[in-house]
Chain A
Amino acid sequence: MARKFDFDPEDEEFFSMVGSFGVPKFDNEMHGGIPRGFTLIAFTDTGSGSELFAKQFTSPAEESENTLYVSTNEGQAEIVRIFQKYSWPMDINVRTIGEEYNSTVLERELLASRYRLEGFQLADIQRLAQTRFVDETNQDYLTEVTNEIMALGPYFRAVVDSLDFFLQREDPARVVAMVRMLQAHAQLHRGLLLISVSTNGLDPVIKQELSSIADMVLSFKVRTIGTDFETSMIVSKFRNAPENLKILVFRVTPEEGITPETVERIA
């Protein structure tokens, strides 16, 4: 690292070298938690509980104004409901990209269908004749989210759930470049960054690239056993701590949310 950041000794003591995952039992298994400066990439199966984990990851919220939760699938109301249910701090920053996207797209579609159905009014025509450029509703959410995270200060905590939204709309190379930038930012500022990516239809090359950027790789799996579902998380990469590579079967409990139960070491 060429750049060096001077951390306040008091801060260093307050934040210590590791932060909590928001899941105490998981912290124990990972020898205290997640080292500050780590970027954690979670590869997720549908229905594996990763969305809950993503929210839970914000719950330690050491500094709420320096904690950011970016959701691309869920709306504000849904998120609030979950946070209330588990009594997690709600004064953190939340950005709901999917909701924003839908509302702008929906708004435009509504307007377009109104124009198509009812035609133009004189005022519309005058405005149209004076409009020289197409309204860029194709907002660059990737750049916005990158900037938002890059703007977070030392010891930040940020979650992007999930990268799928960007991978579906942008050049994957740009998305990977963004993750690389964010990883460097987290490392430099001792931030904690969780990025989830669904394994569904994920290009193996992209998966490989993301895994190599990540300081920690966690896979969320779900499988059926008889009539039951078994959810598990697999730690398949943990920079400088191979002893942390484990398979943890977990349950979701009303008290603790994600709750690891049985643990298996990966030999």
Chain B
Amino acid sequence: MQPAAVYTRDRCVTGIHGLDEILRGGIPYGSTVLAAGTCGSGKTTLGMEFLVRGALAGEACAHFTATEPSVKLLENIRQYAFFDMNMVDSGLINVFDMDVLYSWLGLEKASFELDDVHALIKAIVDIVNTIGVTRLVIDSVTTLCYKIKSEQLIRDFLFTLGKKLATLGCTTILISEITSATENAHWSSFGVEEAIADGIIVMGDVERMGHLLRFLQVVKMRGTAHSRAKHAIELTPLGVMLTPMLKWGAQSDKTSRWGS
């Protein structure tokens, strides 16, 4: 018999300032995390930094971009000091343009059938498996699922994909675009993503002292205790910075923690 020890799952240390503290060490390996945010809330930046931190630790990373062309994404993201184009050139961060993937798979159509969804899963899993991807971002799953017309098929897609990626030990961030991040909002656009995801991180704007602040909140994360408080999120050249929201409010009109 084993002694009754506290079992903790291995973590994927995100490396994002403040996030690992919130998650008591990181995202449990192989999780599929929904990062749901309103427009401009920093989803893409967060996702990219997640990959950069992994790449710095020598992990193979993949980013599938569906919301913006990969060229534009790279042009935008390379303005951040934390991002290094060499990671892309050297194949540590593999940026896949969804439109290109669609054309390679003969998926240039408005709506996907079962076959198409399976082809897509197979392609993503193939890529993850072949290059040993341990960090994956799909930006965004909303845009991708837009082509899948039935809720059942979306459910199948996310469930199957999540299961296969977990088997491969790949920690995945599925970016989801939402229109509102208030308490009673849905964290997903199709109502199925949030039930299937192992974790949900919500990002949005909140008004404090007449300022519109960006916030991030971990709503759920299977397999770990975590803070459920809203955290202020700032997109700095060095990466995403998270600080507890309450402190921020209490500091009222004093200068901000990061200066300005």
Binding site for B on A (CB under 8 A): 108-109, 111-113, 115-116, 119-122, 125-126, 128-129, 131-135
Residues of A within 8 A of B101 (CB): 128
A119 touches B122 (CB 8 A): yes
A134–B123 CB distance below 8 A: no
The docked-state distance in angstroms from the alpha carbon of A80 to that of B94 is 49
Please, how many angstroms separate the alpha-carbon atoms of A105 and B199 in the complex? 42
Interface residues on B, range: 20 to 34
Q: Is B126 at the interface (CB under 8 A from chain A)? A: yes
Q: Are B106 and A126 in contact (CB under 8 A)?
A: no
Given the known A-B contacts A129-B91, A132-B69, are A116 and B97 also in contact in the complex, defined by CB atoms under 8 Å? no
Q: Hey, which chain B residues are within 8 Å of A131, CB to CB?
A: 97, 100
Partner of A112, one of B70, B105, B122: B105
A124: nearest chain-B partner, CB-CB: B104
Task: Determine the residue in chain A with the shortest Cβ distance to B104.
Answer: A115
How far is B99's CA from A133's CA once the two chains are assembled, in angstroms? 8
Residues from chain B with a CB closer than 8 A to the CB of A121 are 130
What are 17 sample pairs from A and B whose C-beta atoms fall under 8 A apart?
A108-B106, A109-B106, A111-B104, A119-B122, A119-B126, A120-B126, A120-B130, A122-B131, A125-B126, A125-B127, A129-B94, A129-B95, A131-B97, A132-B70, A132-B71, A133-B97, A133-B100
Q: Smallest distance from the beta carbon of A113 to chain B beta carbons, Å? A: 7
Q: Are A116 and B105 in contact (CB under 8 A)?
A: yes
Contacts across chains A and B counted by CB atoms under 8 Å: 59
Residues of B with C-beta under 8 A to A133: 69, 71, 97, 100
Residue in contact with B106 in the complex, picked from A112, A119, A125, CB distance below 8 Å: A112
Chain B residue nearest to A120 in the complex (CB): B126
Is B248 an interface position by the 8 A CB rule? Answer: no
Residues A134 and B103 in contact in the complex (CB < 8 Å), given A119-B122, A120-B126: yes
CB distance from A70 to the nearest CB of B (A): 27
Taking a contact as CB atoms closer than 8 A, the residue among A109, A111, A112, A129 that contacts B96 in the complex is A129
B115's closest neighbor in chain A, by CB?
Answer: A116
Summarize A's interface: helix, strand, loop or mixed.
Answer: helix
CB pair B122–A116 under 8 Å, yes or no, is yes
Separation of A111 and B105 alpha carbons in the complex (Å): 8
Contact with A along B118-152 (1 / 0, CB 8 A): 01001100110011000000000000000000000
The answer for the CA separation of A112 and B106 in the assembled complex, in Å, is 5
Contact present for B106 and A122 (CB under 8 Å): no
Closest 7 CB pairs of A and B: A112-B106, A129-B94, A119-B126, A116-B119, A134-B103, A131-B100, A120-B126
Bound CA–CA A135/B101 (angstroms): 11
A131 CA to B101 CA, complexed, in Å: 9
Closest chain A residue, CB of each to CB of B118: A116
Residues of B within 8 A of A128 (CB): 96, 100-101, 104, 127
Cα–Cα, bound, A120→B100 (Å): 14
User: Is the pair A132, B131 in contact by a Cβ cutoff of 8 Å?
Assistant: no
State A112–B131 Cα separation when bound (angstroms). 21
Q: How far is the CB of A129 from chain B (nearest CB, A)?
A: 4
Complex formed: what's the CA distance from A134 to B104 in Å? 9
Q: Are B131 and A113 in contact (CB under 8 A)?
A: no
Complex contacts, B102 vs chain A, CB 8 Å: 134
B71 nearest CB neighbor, chain A only? A132
A115 contacts which of B71, B96, B105, B131 (Cβ < 8 Å)? B105
Is B100 in contact with A116, judged by CB distance below 8 angstroms?
A: no
Contact A119 B99 (CB under 8 A): no
Which residues of chain B come closer than 8 Å to A126, judged between CB atoms? 91
Tell me whether A125 and B131 are in contact in the complex, defined as CB-CB below 8 angstroms, given that A115-B105, A116-B106 are known contacts: yes
Chain B residues positioned under 8 Å from A115 (CB to CB): 104-105, 123
Residue of chain B at shortest CB distance from A110: B106
Least CB distance, B26 to chain A, in whole angstroms: 26
**Nearest Cβ in chain B — how far from A234, in angstroms?**
43
Chain A residues whose C-beta falls within 8 Å of the C-beta of B108 in the assembled complex: 134
Q: Is the CB of A120 within 8 A of B106?
A: no
How many Å lie between the Cα of A144 and that of B97 in the bound state? 29
- The smallest C-beta distance from B98 to any residue of chain A, in angstroms, reads 10
Q: Which of B91, B100, B122 contacts A134 (CB 8 A)?
A: B100
Nearest CB to that of B120 among chain A residues? A116
